[in-house]
Structure 1
Amino acid sequence: MTGRFQTEENTEIYYYIEGEGYPLLFIHGLGGSLNNWNESYLYFLKKGFQVIGIDLPGYGKSSKHEDFEYTISHYAKIVKEFLHFLKLKCPPILVGNSMGGQISSYFAAKYKSRLKALILVDSSGLNEMNLFQEVLIHFTFEKNNIAQILKYMIDIFSFNIFNNPKHPNAQTFIEEQKEMSKEEHYHGYCYALNQSTKAMMNAGLKDLLSEIQVPVMIIWGKNDRLIPSFYSEKFLEAIPGSSLKLIQNCGHVPQLEKPEEFNLYLEQFLNSILSAEEKTFFSKQNKFKNLITKIFKKGKTC
């Protein structure tokens, strides 16, 4: 099921929610959308979880306003507001990729009691750039340049995101970006990219990660060209009690390039942190609800 949620500041958020098990909230990265998790939605629905995806403001089918505050802290606030709107029966498990990981880390550090666990997937927030890289990024994502540059660099970006640029999901990514470039809100999307990139660079996580108190798993593509895998070790060192899984022959988006391995590692982690009672609570609740529904229907036919 998909829906739209209006924030307090009238930003419209597009989301996907399915299932009635323990809730998993997936947060995409820079330039992405909730579609980046399609293979994980299906897998964990079959495992009995509730899966939730969100198009962050500026991306996918959510609002793309130039008066929106594109900062990591504000994105985290939007996530908190969204979770309040959903009225979940228990604290969710956050799964964030790239910028989504940075937002999720900030959320975990600032809103400790609202979260069960955290999974960081090739997360931004600790990566450092040399002067050449900073100048290149500022030029590429500068407001007056980005719309034209993106149209000609989509294939190059795909090469940097996927270890194997010929992967079927890489081709899907390219097609989605090309379709986006034809939409009327494309300049709003480009503005979001511009501001989000600045936000990622200006909001490092170094001083926040030690405040995270929930179980954390780090999953990283060994061949990530955007945020090299040695940053996974930095996250591991910075977050007490965290664990790390590296996926070989994989780039920046393991959930798309190596979905089988990614989903397996995530499932193993979930099994390690959720008690048997937590796993079965929702299924028992649903069986009870279904039983009541059947009894009610029988009663109406008498």
Structure 2
Amino acid sequence: MQMLLSPSPPPAAAHLPAAAPAWTQPLRARRLAGVPQASASAEFPGFVPDGAQMPPGRRRRRSVAGIDQDELLDPEALADPDSSFFEINGVRLHHKVCSHEDEDSSSDQSSDATVSEAGRSRIGLPILLLHGFGASVFSWSRVMRPLARIAAAKVLAFDRPAFGLTSRASWSGDDSKPLNPYSMAFSVMATLAFIDYLGAEKAVLVGHSAGCLVAVDAYFEAPERVAALVLVAPAIFAPRKGVKDSATGEQEAQKQNVPNDENSPPTLFARIWGGFLKLCKHIAGLVSKMMMVIRDVLRSLYVKALVAFLRSSLGAMLVRWVMDKFGILGVRNAWYDPSKVTDHVIQGYTKPLRSRGWETALLEHTISMIIDSASATRVPVSKRLSEISCPVLVVTGDTDRIVPAWNAERVAHAIPGARFEVIKGCGHLPQEERPEEFLSVVERFLRTVFGTPNERVFQAAV
């Protein structure tokens, strides 16, 4: 048995340290020289140190559309010198007001040549500007002051909740707040509140893209408060014209060929066939009702699942990724000539991404739109366009890639008496890309509707 045991080492070898591998010798030498052990990661290419131990300059910073997401601020901290805030139901709405009495035009970026001497005569109606999805007060910056001079009244633009510098309110489905701040109903209420804020009985509402939905809904909520509507590139699905059923005539002809002699007794075949048809109709009605119930249940489950996903951390990651990859690209595609989109424009659209909680607010706004569209009780705006009776102007760019010009024309045709104007060489943002032409079109419309009789005759002649 002793021969199976490993022999004990020589006495001298028992006191010697084990020989170190050759690749550890440089590391041992550096440790002896006082080099911090954290630098040993250079010796192990697969080793990743904890982010908390990394120097601040080496940490990976999050960025969305070029905006650092590690240094977000409250929206009010990003306000401009001419910014104001108006609180409604705990939401502080960012807005700007231009008055026709303002003499300082040094910050006006648009040409005053569009405001003619005739345009300086008094219309006296304030104008409210409603931006589209992903935009803000910034999108009206080139036309606010000229519009105030044209109307000889105040012009107000505000950021709807989830956009611009309006405060990001917390909201969930079971919240105790009286109204979802990201809903269409809240935007309508805010629009009417701003008319009161200006001390006016009624105002002209100018909506752009999705802002047109707010303008039209505000009209349906309180038509007596809306003097006129200007719908710019309206993101409203226009209904197609009704087409008569060509089969109606054939059906009438078939009815005429069926004998209808009440005195002639029905045959046995006729009685059996008539009963069979009634049974089939009854079964078809039951199947149709079952399908409607199943469809409503599936739609409800789908909406609930989608809302749960959007409110998860994955939803926040998704919206940040989308804004990072397509945010600036979307702005460029909204122009007829993307090469003319300046850094000033990009900065204006990406500035709200510096607001704390912007992604959560944007998701809640999207959720609100999904719930509204899935509502069985809400009548789509497109089906009520024929009910509008106030003066309406529809404006579009001839090369709009987001809301095609043909859809805007269909919206104009669906509204009784609406005027339709196309701006050449223009995309989805006429008020930014072609401010002079946009102001000219709006001024001509306002002169025709609200001007003196002489001005109306002049504009009709033009």
**TM-score range normalised by the length of the shorter chain:** 0.7 to 0.9
Partner of 2:332 in structure 1? Answer: 159
Between the two proteins, what is the percent identity of the paired residues?
A: 23
The SS at the match of 2:382 is coil
Partner of 2:182 in structure 1? Answer: 70
The SS at the match of 1:93 is strand
The SS at the match of 2:383 is coil
Partner of 2:155 in structure 1? Answer: 51
- The answer to whether residue 358 in structure 2 is matched with residue 186 in structure 1 is yes
- The answer to whether residue 422 in structure 2 is matched with residue 246 in structure 1 is yes
Which whole-Å deviations, capped at 9, do the CAs of 1:192-234 have from their partners, x for residues lacking one? 5533653785673122212212100000111111111111122
Which structure is larger by alpha-carbon Rg, 1 or 2? 2
CA distance in 2, matches of 1:71, 1:62: 14
- State the AA in 2 paired with 1:36: S
CA distance in 2, matches of 1:65, 1:195: 14
Partner of 2:270 in structure 1? Answer: none
- The answer to whether residue 138 in structure 2 is matched with residue 35 in structure 1 is yes
- The answer to whether residue 119 in structure 2 is matched with residue 119 in structure 1 is no
Which whole-Å deviations, capped at 9, do the CAs of 1:228-254 have from their partners, x for residues lacking one? 111112211211000100112211111
The SS at the match of 2:425 is coil
- State the AA in 2 paired with 1:52: L
- The answer to whether residue 299 in structure 2 is matched with residue 195 in structure 1 is no
Which whole-Å deviations, capped at 9, do the CAs of 1:167-194 have from their partners, x for residues lacking one? 245x433223433333323324432553
The SS at the match of 1:166 is helix
CA shift, 1:155, in A, is 2.7
Match of 2:398 among 222, 228, 239: 222
Match of 2:443 among 245, 264, 267: 267
The more displaced of 192-201 and 218-227 is: 192-201
Q: Unpaired segments of 5 or more residues in structure 2?
A: 1-81, 101-123, 172-179, 240-305, 456-462
Partner of 1:98 in structure 2? Answer: 209
The SS at the match of 1:26 is strand
CA distance in 1, matches of 2:219, 2:163: 22
Match of 1:60 among 164, 173, 179: 164
Retained in 2: the 8 A contact 1:28–1:100? yes
- The answer to whether residue 408 in structure 2 is matched with residue 232 in structure 1 is yes
The SS at the match of 2:447 is helix
The SS at the match of 1:59 is coil
CA distance in 1, matches of 2:388, 2:346: 35
Retained in 2: the 8 A contact 1:147–1:190? no
Partner of 1:300 in structure 2? Answer: none
- State the AA in 2 paired with 1:51: V
The more displaced of 33-42 and 13-22 is: 13-22
Structure 1 pair 199/83, CA: closer, same or farther in 2 (3 Å)?
farther
Partner of 2:95 in structure 1? Answer: 15
Retained in 2: the 8 A contact 1:58–1:64? yes
The SS at the match of 1:246 is strand
CA shift, 1:69, in A, is 4.0
TM-score, scaled relative to structure 1: 0.79
Retained in 2: the 8 A contact 1:30–1:196? no
CA distance in 1, matches of 2:437, 2:419: 16
CA distance in 1, matches of 2:360, 2:183: 16
The SS at the match of 1:218 is strand
CA distance in 1, matches of 2:330, 2:369: 14
The SS at the match of 1:22 is coil
- State the AA in 1 paired with 2:137: L
CA distance in 2, matches of 1:196, 1:219: 27
Q: Unpaired segments of 5 or more residues in structure 1?
A: 129-137, 280-302
Retained in 2: the 8 A contact 1:5–1:13? yes
CA distance in 1, matches of 2:451, 2:336: 36
- The answer to whether residue 199 in structure 2 is matched with residue 84 in structure 1 is no
CA distance in 2, matches of 1:2, 1:156: 27
Structure 1 pair 87/46, CA: closer, same or farther in 2 (3 Å)?
closer
CA distance in 2, matches of 1:56, 1:207: 25
CA distance in 2, matches of 1:193, 1:252: 22
Which whole-Å deviations, capped at 9, do the CAs of 1:100-143 have from their partners, x for residues lacking one? 11110111122110011000001112169xxxxxxxxx9xx953
Retained in 2: the 8 A contact 1:161–1:226? yes
TM-score, scaled relative to structure 2: 0.53
Structure 1 pair 211/29, CA: closer, same or farther in 2 (3 Å)?
same
Partner of 1:206 in structure 2? Answer: 382
CA distance in 2, matches of 1:96, 1:62: 18
Which whole-Å deviations, capped at 9, do the CAs of 1:33-68 have from their partners, x for residues lacking one? 111111111212333332111111121111222413
CA distance in 1, matches of 2:371, 2:233: 17
Q: CA RMSD in A?
A: 2.7
